[in-house]
Amino acid sequence: MDILKTIKEKLAGDSVTDASFEGANIVIYTDDENFFKNGESKIKEIVNELKKRIELRADRDVLHDKEKVEKEIKEIVPKEAEITKIIFDNHRSIVIIEAKKPGLVIGKKGSIIEEIRKKTMWTPQVQRSASIKSKITDNIREVLYANNTYRRRFLNKMGKKIYKEWSPEKVDEWVRLTMLGGGRQVGRSCLLLQTPESKILLDCGVDVASSGKDKFPYFNLPEFDISQLDAVIITHAHLDHVGLLPYLYKMGYDGPVYMTPPTRDIAALLSLDFIGVAYKQATKPLFSSTDVKEMVKHSICLDYNEVTDVTPDIRITFYNSGHCLGASIVHINIGNGLHNLVYTGDYKYGKSRLLEQAVGNYPRVETVVTEATYGSKKDVLPAKSKSEQDLIDIVNKTIKRKGKVLIPELGLGRAQETMLILEDAMKKGKLPDVPIYIDGMIWDINA
């Protein structure tokens, strides 16, 4: 089934100038101003029929002049939104608006971006400006903008691959799952999921505590062939789940990696830090910043609950896992409902100060692969309230003795949680108002 042809035929009378893929999404370009502005209901009909995401954009021939558009945007968007940057993506007819208060750019029910769209013919995308200036997140966005043409071709190629053998029918096939790492250990989480149509890695972690070949997942298994790999799915940005992904690109992988936007940013950040740590320890890093860039260049970011085809017979959805910023449980629909697999990655079933608890309801699941860290009979942790009180007691005791409290925070996300506990204790008078100084990677991660 040629899905682009099918769509073009359905829109035969509507001046469609081009149709292409952005990953599993389908983009239709039109030079008919009226259809661009009012074609929404017709597109929705096709979306309902094919159950695929389709976006209508204006052909570049009818896009308004950039300088004029920039002025218009600044007029339409209220000053309080604090726009920091406007970037035009010519090849995709998209204008990216970075603002400190993105909600004000979007407007009620999207009214403001809709106005921008209709007035300028450009398709606006809104991003939150970094609240703290971070060179690394700037650089990550830079990589994406700089490789726009490559990205467009790459995403179109991915779409072609996904839809080549695509069929809406339920298929009869086998499913294989192989643990390449992370079985009975913490570190180097990596699973190979195979069907007759697909070879997909779930996570690609490093075991930082090990040395030599034990750092790596079992990439030497006979059924793993990097040149046959269709996609990588990353559940969250900790190194034991993503640390060897740049290494995959170094070894020649040039396919997509699916993750949430925060996972992409933090993974890049931690990977660069991983290189830095290697240099500090006078060892050779496993990969270079070029490989980290390749990872970013090939990333396809998905929000929670966004259903996406990644191969002809595999469709994935990320759900919040409550483990750290951007961390996901991934639901994998194989063969149009033949088998549904949930791979949890790391998760937390309690609400923390920072994050919602993990999603526990899925439409259909036949197999669950779960992490089991702290999952044994004896792993009963003290109540959160007690742990927090213990922390506050120690800080109080130290302050009374006129001491200083140094808190080395090891895990990503823990520093933020600790900050919130201390702030809350001060607000409630459980701690005296003393200055708190923070330093390290937390700056970039909070950015």
Residues that bind its own copies (CB under 8 A): 174, 218, 221-223
CA distance 30 to 36: 7
Owner of token pair 């290697």: 278
Nearer to its own copies, 192 or 202 (CB): 192
**SS (HEC) of 184-214:** CCCCCCEEEEECCCCEEEECCCCCCCCCHHH
Handedness of CA 27, 32, 36, 40 (dihedral sign): negative
Q: Please report how close the Cβ of residue 427 comes to its own copies at its closest, in angstroms.
A: 51
CA distance 205 to 267: 11
Q: Please report how close the Cβ of residue 25 comes to its own copies at its closest, in angstroms.
A: 33
- Whether 95 and 113 have beta carbons less than 8 Å apart is answered as no
Nearer to its own copies, 102 or 196 (CB): 196
Q: Please report how close the Cβ of residue 170 comes to its own copies at its closest, in angstroms.
A: 16
Q: Please report how close the Cβ of residue 223 comes to its own copies at its closest, in angstroms.
A: 4
Nearer to its own copies, 174 or 362 (CB): 174
Q: What are the distances in angstroms from CA 399 to CA 392, 396, 415, 417, 435?
A: 11, 5, 20, 21, 11
For residue 377, count CB atoms less than 10 angstroms from its CB and return exposed for 0-12, middle for 13-18, buried for 19 or more. exposed
Nearer to its own copies, 218 or 304 (CB): 218
CA distance 313 to 333: 8
To 5 degrees, how large is the angle CA 331–CA 335–CA 338?
Answer: 80
Nearest to 207 by CA among 196, 216, 194, 199: 216
Q: Please report how close the Cβ of residue 192 comes to its own copies at its closest, in angstroms.
A: 11
Nearer to its own copies, 221 or 372 (CB): 221
Q: Please report how close the Cβ of residue 62 comes to its own copies at its closest, in angstroms.
A: 52
Structure tokens at 227: 């040149």
Q: Please report how close the Cβ of residue 174 comes to its own copies at its closest, in angstroms.
A: 8
Nearer to its own copies, 97 or 180 (CB): 180
Nearer to its own copies, 140 or 202 (CB): 202
